[in-house]
Structure 1
């Protein structure tokens, strides 16, 4: 059992990343955890930028120390340990005892202080006392005394956790302000990474806000480390029966804290790689066990280093250069530096407060909102905010939300007060920039040469149907300006083919997902629209994008989202999106769902960096949108058209029962386009068009309500649904369900003896996702897309 090897491609990418350990070498969970941050913050710089700043800061510190003959001061970092349990009594199972926490923090201090007489001591000439100590917080974020110093017990109401739920659910709901607390989550980390191996823990690298392209606000809700409860503590300091052998002496936290403070793995995450510490000898790979005397890369390896993957009992050294890195990080990383004045361990005299704050964004659209967070030290009890150009212009709330209705760059001032006194005013000029455009916008990541890429090493297309049977493809939009509404999209297809003998009613489903899936991949479906294949065929033939207006506004909630298409294989039709050439995309925004249902970025899974030619129509104002009860009808049948987004609607088109109102009924005898115009409110787009396709045949006079239709309700559902099929057709009927790969998972034979056929259908045993309900009668096939939650 070894700690997890970090993939090389992770640590050479950026200075805001995640590190991990497992019990078995050769596996890499850190790639996935790191890409979560990159997907959320694609503008983050590279690790080379971070290294450059670190090296410059290290030189500056050395010069400063030499010129003044200073010695490093011992600094103290406050700790809160979130013990995540499943209702066990305190001291039992996952709900570990305070004594086990204390044993772990003692070990952490022994290792970082190189304390004599402890396993953390070494006599190596390059061994270093990091001169950092860790204290248990005695007050919570509200300034109240804690019943158990440094411990926050949390009933997660589940036995174990995976990394996706930890970073997506657990951390955001339990973290304490990382500007004041070092957050440590102790959980049942029961996750086997790709290829095998059990995770022990992972950490988030420090951020550096002064680098070009790196935002000041990096992910606060995930900052800290996660440790499996069976490797947290020190079995030599007490009877802690849940701890696993080999990794039971507390060095997992020492290692992960090293990453949290900016250290790299000692082997540089490559064969004889560079960890940017000259006094750690190069080595070919991570160590396992305690191979004292191991030789690689031309010299003896420092297998005792805390940043290797040796057994806990083997580790006992940080080096002088590693200390230099850590001390530099404590100066250049804002969140790490702010910990030094947190004053939550009860070791400092209470003084008048020091005002500090941050905003969730410093660039906002006209009419947009900015949320301010108080970061002041000294536990203030009163806040006095002044917002130039904002509404309200003043506030006494601790964490106010301000609306900006005029363009410009505006000042923010904060004064805080406690029982001792009042702070000096903190004034930040031109802190918020309000843009005077973009309330309605078209956003795309596409920039480069329009290309249709064949599937690497297979048949078919990268961004379409292929031999790998990808289920869907999507484009990630980070939504940095916090737009709320998505009205529609334009998608440029480069390939569109109808299967031989295919029905003329094939559709392609354009889908919108939120960006809250694993690694900020596609999560829950926010909206869908079926686009007739015949429309895409015509658009491809005329070299134009396919424009989609959703049936109703797709709410974005100011968060990231994905737009893409699902790829069914049942009908045999083929479509493929246009992308940029490989390497032309600045950020890895293209995603694909594999046959197993897992979402992966092209860049991670295929080494291909492209963007899809997809444009989102977004806004802070609504748009007129239109839906049709049916897209394909028989001549003379009726169809209901519904519009949303405005207060007054006016329709044009043949066969309408009225031209006014949000809902009208049409009875076209040939394929017809209907246009609805909206007014009465301020709109981004005031018109929408829907086309109703009329099948060839004879008009059924005075029989407008006999509509041939397949419906499935409810949809989406938990799997328990009812299928209704209305048609004058009679005879043998086959009801089937297929997955996105075209595999039939349900098949039922029935006799249709009336105009309406109704049958219950149970998909509760199927996994969540998109399926197609299929009705076959005679030589006709009818399909309906359904979503199983």
Structure 2
């Protein structure tokens, strides 16, 4: 596998690009029915751009975090573990208008269960990783524990991506202890968006992950082909400083040397092997959680992705408060 070129323009790389998406729509008498995204879509790019526009210092903070991450990786740091793993308390904020949107405790727990399996390599499909990538598939070693569920009835039909769901004064719910707890917001986002995350470096007042209730967990309202909780895995990966595997540009850079160069995002369930037209025509790691494939088609992180995630929990890192 070709080691990717690291020195790109840092500020521009961190504008995480989210591919445009298609919706399945049916129009009759001017009425749009529907709702399940035909292609995975996150809104991290749009959110990050909005945050940079309102917070001039964010670009530098993100650049500093990347420099810190690379330094830690080069130092071959030892993870600071508690009972073998980093343990992260999770607060789930449910904003609902209908009874279906007020998802059950069982559905919430199913998402926590998926995160624990995917980040600890105990997912049943982990063994489906092809031989080509078997040497780099990773057990990240992070445990998630459901800390609290907060529910709020609202009149909103959709929340968009301007973080309104994270603000009590805009009808949402402020995050609880965001420097020591991962906050998840479950709501109807709209626009065909499955979810989005805030990257390390953003304001603690809006820190966390947003996931549409139709793509949360594995039961209840969870909707095929995004009904295996992998939207949560993908977005929490972003929250832990992972980039999309295609580097948000044609043959771009995700800062992980052990992930092959991808042309762009992949969708659906690509047949293996799927070759890239990037230099060397590598086989793409389409089964990586940071691609855009369907839930059933993603089932691994790589060792370099693991190193990036664990680096942010090291002393001086942007999420060190979670590891203390």
State TM-score, norm by structure 1: 0.34
Question: Of 60, 71, 83, which aligns to 2:94?
Answer: 83
RMSD: 2.9
Whether the aligned pair in 2 keeps the contact of 1:19 and 1:202 (CA below 8 Å) is no
Q: Which has the higher helix share?
A: 2
Secondary structure in 2 matching 1:327: helix
Q: 2-side partners of 1:102 and 1:184: how far apart?
A: 13
Offset of 1:33 from its aligned partner? Answer: 1.2
Q: 1-side partners of 2:290 and 2:112: how far apart?
A: 18
Q: Partner of 2:5 in structure 1? A: none
Offset of 1:183 from its aligned partner? Answer: 0.4
Q: 2-side partners of 1:11 and 1:309: how far apart?
A: 23
- Quick check: 1:293 aligned with 2:273? yes
Decide whether aligned partners of structure 1 residues 24 and 330 sit closer, same or farther in structure 2, where only a CA change above 3 A counts: farther
- Quick check: 1:181 aligned with 2:172? no
Q: Partner of 2:100 in structure 1? A: 93
Q: Which aligned segments of 4 or more residues in structure 1 are displaced greater than 6 angstroms?
A: none
Whether the aligned pair in 1 keeps the contact of 2:86 and 2:141 (CA below 8 Å) is yes
Question: Of 225, 232, 236, which aligns to 2:216?
Answer: 232
Q: Partner of 1:155 in structure 2? A: 153
Question: Of 31, 46, 51, which aligns to 1:32?
Answer: 46
How do 1:202-601 residues align onto structure 2 when only pairs under 5 Å count?
Answer: 202-207=196-201, 218-235=202-219, 240=220, 242-291=221-270, 292-296=272-276, 297=278, 298-331=281-314, 336-341=319-324
Whether the aligned pair in 1 keeps the contact of 2:93 and 2:173 (CA below 8 Å) is no
Decide whether aligned partners of structure 1 residues 74 and 34 sit closer, same or farther in structure 2, where only a CA change above 3 A counts: same
Whether the aligned pair in 2 keeps the contact of 1:11 and 1:269 (CA below 8 Å) is no
Whether the aligned pair in 2 keeps the contact of 1:19 and 1:203 (CA below 8 Å) is no
Q: 1-side partners of 2:56 and 2:186: how far apart?
A: 29
Question: Of 122, 128, 148, which aligns to 1:115?
Answer: 122
Q: Partner of 2:140 in structure 1? A: 130
Secondary structure in 2 matching 1:78: strand
Offset of 1:10 from its aligned partner? Answer: 11
Q: 2-side partners of 1:163 and 1:127: how far apart?
A: 32
- The answer for unaligned runs of 5 or more in structure 2 is 1-7, 22-36
Q: 1-side partners of 2:10 and 2:212: how far apart?
A: 23
Decide whether aligned partners of structure 1 residues 303 and 182 sit closer, same or farther in structure 2, where only a CA change above 3 A counts: same
Offset of 1:155 from its aligned partner? Answer: 1.5
Structure number with higher relative contact order (C-alpha < 8 Å, ≥ 6 residues apart): 2
State TM-score, norm by structure 2: 0.80
Whether the aligned pair in 2 keeps the contact of 1:20 and 1:203 (CA below 8 Å) is no
Decide whether aligned partners of structure 1 residues 289 and 25 sit closer, same or farther in structure 2, where only a CA change above 3 A counts: closer
Q: 2-side partners of 1:126 and 1:246: how far apart?
A: 26
Decide whether aligned partners of structure 1 residues 71 and 93 sit closer, same or farther in structure 2, where only a CA change above 3 A counts: closer
Decide whether aligned partners of structure 1 residues 334 and 328 sit closer, same or farther in structure 2, where only a CA change above 3 A counts: closer
Offset of 1:244 from its aligned partner? Answer: 1.9
Secondary structure in 2 matching 1:56: helix
Decide whether aligned partners of structure 1 residues 299 and 163 sit closer, same or farther in structure 2, where only a CA change above 3 A counts: same
- The answer for unaligned runs of 5 or more in structure 1 is 1-8, 138-149, 193-197, 208-217, 342-789
When the two structures are aligned, how many residues end up with a matched partner?
289
Decide whether aligned partners of structure 1 residues 186 and 64 sit closer, same or farther in structure 2, where only a CA change above 3 A counts: closer
Larger radius of gyration: 1
Whether the aligned pair in 2 keeps the contact of 1:58 and 1:328 (CA below 8 Å) is yes
Whether the aligned pair in 2 keeps the contact of 1:77 and 1:339 (CA below 8 Å) is yes
Q: Which has the higher strand share?
A: 1
Tell me the alpha carbon deviations over residues 628-673 of structure 1, each in whole angstroms, 9 at most, x when there is no partner. xxxxxxxxxxxxxxxxxxxxxxxxxxxxxxxxxxxxxxxxxxxxxx
Offset of 1:333 from its aligned partner? Answer: 6.2
